[in-house]
């Protein structure tokens, strides 16, 4: 596309250089730049894209979008200065990729927990009912058999629009997207014409970025207020959790039609007669399109909420309730979300992505209901992120588990001992039940210890990382997959010759020694 056509929607800009240039792509990472690219210099919290402008030029960029004047840029490079490079990026990406969301029926799901499972449920129901649907989120972007890895839960605006264009090329009618609070605050979804917005819940998370729960909640409300105020041929829908206190506020902020779902409070779609079984969940669902009974393969009250949200989206798109039921009862679950890991052992291991207090509490509550013996938990907290949740996470783990091991997660620039010290503040001196806990810096060793402790009928929850396959330590990405580590260690434990006779005392009130920090 010609640069002059690409720049045309930008009202405020200062252009220096030739604009009759053929632009081959848009990039914000100088390492991804190829010949003919437009490089957008985004200011960031850690790095400033302006510092990498010359590297982008050397890699083949022929034009730059900047917020400030640059020196040492060759005279043949076109420089376009704008007031807000991130806003310009969203506008340019929408134009460059042909405004793909104007041709897709776009569904956005936001919330602290449940986004990944809810988007996968919607994708599954829609594809089962001949509504070809793509998905973008924490795990990947995929449409049919085509898949690309994603770096963020919600990609930057140029990658998002590129993904939507790819979906159209693969025949998609719908796209369902996880929309994070960071994405909303940073404007990554600007230019996305959402048809439906869904709220799962709002609980403690990301306060390192948003500073307060009020700001965090207000940011998530943007998805609903930005649905627009016009009523046309395509009806906009806001789907809200009636059991979450923020939902009435979100309902006031949107002009869209509102559909509510819930369990405790009155709602347009409501679950009752919920029964948790070892292999799934049964429930009755009453909706504005009638009622049905569901036998799900999913476990946990949190998944009941996810299913209700997916039902609401499906009914809004006129999929008959009985067809929704059939699709839901086929759904097997999502990688790393309350995922059982089995290699012949005589106890249960659950792998889950829970990395905030509410998510961990939900997972441990569910695990406790299905545990005949003792409940163990391994969890950690990430470095360079919300320190306030660290003691809360530890307290949740120690309150629900018979024995908790606190360990390392993505430590980034922080020392693991410092992170664990913050966590241990949540269990020192408080009225914790007579449950045990310890801290083990090495994550592999923590998993090894808990597998050695487990006996028949016990349940082990390994929380915090789920699908992730690397640990971030300082500036390195070190291969580490909880699933692979668990399976390797189980291979030793299920061998009778190597089965350790350790911590066989059933007195779970015995507190293991705390790690010296």
The annotated binding site is made up of 30, 111-117, 152-154, 180, 188
* Alpha-helical runs (H) found in 275-384: 301-316, 321-330, 357-369
CA–CA separation, 291 and 298 (whole Å): 20
Pick from 126, 174, 119: nearest CA to 324: 126
- For 382, phi and psi rounded to 5 degrees? -75, 150
* Alpha-helical runs (H) found in 145-203: 157-169, 181-186
Pick from 93, 72, 82: nearest CA to 27: 93
Total Cβ atoms within 10 A of residue 243: 17
Are 175 and 106 contacting, i.e. CB atoms less than 8 angstroms apart? Answer: yes
Are 515 and 446 contacting, i.e. CB atoms less than 8 angstroms apart? Answer: no
52 DSSP assignment: G
Pick from 382, 355, 324: nearest CA to 464: 355
Binding-site sequence positions for ATP: 111-117
Q: CB under 8 Å to 214, separation ≥6 — which residues?
A: none
Cα dist from 124 to 117, 144, 239, 334, whole Å: 10, 11, 18, 11
Backbone φ/ψ region at 396: left (φ over 0), alpha (ψ -120 to 50), beta: alpha
* Alpha-helical runs (H) found in 290-442: 301-316, 321-330, 357-369, 389-400, 416-424
Pairing of strands 14-16, 146-148: unpaired
Strand partners, 271: 285
Q: Helix, strand or coil for residue 170? A: coil
List % helix, strand, coil for the chain (3-state, nearest 5): 35, 25, 40
């Amino acid at each position: 596309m010609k640069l002059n056509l690409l720049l045309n929607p930008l009202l405020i800009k200062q252009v220096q250089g030739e604009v009759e240039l053929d632009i081959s792509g848009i990039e914000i990472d100088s390492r991804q730049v190829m010949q003919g690219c437009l490089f957008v210099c985004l200011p960031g919290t850690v790095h400033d894209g302006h510092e990498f402008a010359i590297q982008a030029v050397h890699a083949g960029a022929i034009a730059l979008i900047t917020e400030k004047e640059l020196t040492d840029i060759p005279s043949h490079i076109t420089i376009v200065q704008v007031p807000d490079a991130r806003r310009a990026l969203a506008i340019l990406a929408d134009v460059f990729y042909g405004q793909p969301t104007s041709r897709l029926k776009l569904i956005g799901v936001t919330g602290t927990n449940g986004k990944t499972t809810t988007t996968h449920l919607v994708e599954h129901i829609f594809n089962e009912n001949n509504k070809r649907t793509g998905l973008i989120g924490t795990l990947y972007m995929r449409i049919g058999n085509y898949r690309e890895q994603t770096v963020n839960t919600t990609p930057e605006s140029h990658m998002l629009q590129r993904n939507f264009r790819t979906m159209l090329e693969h025949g998609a009618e719908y796209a369902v997207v996880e929309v994070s609070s960071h994405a909303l605050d940073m404007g990554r979804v600007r230019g996305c014409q959402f048809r439906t917005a869904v709220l799962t819940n709002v609980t403690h998370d990301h306060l390192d970025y948003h500073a307060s729960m009020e700001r965090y909640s207000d940011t998530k409300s943007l998805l609903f207020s930005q649905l627009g105020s016009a009523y046309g041929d395509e009806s906009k829908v806001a789907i809200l959790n009636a059991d979450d206190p923020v939902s009435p506020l979100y309902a006031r902020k949107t002009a869209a039609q509102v559909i509510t779902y819930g369990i405790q409070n009155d709602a347009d779609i409501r679950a009752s007669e919920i029964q948790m079984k070892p292999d799934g969940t049964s429930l009755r669902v009453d909706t504005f399109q009638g009622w049905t009974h569901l036998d799900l393969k999913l476990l946990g009250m949190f998944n009941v909420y996810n299913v209700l949200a997916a039902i609401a989206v499906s009914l809004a798109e006129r999929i008959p309730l009985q067809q929704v039921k059939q699709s839901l009862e086929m759904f097997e679950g999502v990688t790393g979300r309350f995922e059982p890991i089995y290699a012949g052992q005589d106890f249960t291991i659950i792998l889950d992505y829970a990395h905030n207090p509410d998510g961990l509490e939900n997972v441990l509550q569910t695990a406790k209901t299905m545990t005949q013996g003792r409940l163990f938990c391994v969890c950690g907290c990430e470095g360079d992120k919300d320190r306030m949740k660290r003691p809360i996470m530890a307290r949740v783990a120690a309150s629900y588990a018979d024995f908790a091991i606190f360990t390392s997660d993505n430590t980034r620039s922080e020392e693991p001992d410092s992170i664990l010290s913050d966590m241990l503040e949540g269990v020192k001196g408080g009225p914790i039940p007579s449950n045990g806990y310890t801290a083990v810096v090495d994550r592999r060793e923590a998993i090894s210890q808990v597998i050695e402790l487990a006996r028949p009928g016990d349940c082990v929850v390994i929380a915090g990382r789920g699908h992730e396959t690397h640990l971030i330590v300082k500036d390195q990405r070190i291969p580490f997959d909880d699933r692979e580590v668990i399976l390797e260690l189980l291979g030793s434990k299920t061998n009778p010759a190597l089965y350790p006779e350790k911590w066989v005392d059933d007195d779970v009130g015995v507190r293991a020694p705390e790690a010296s920090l």
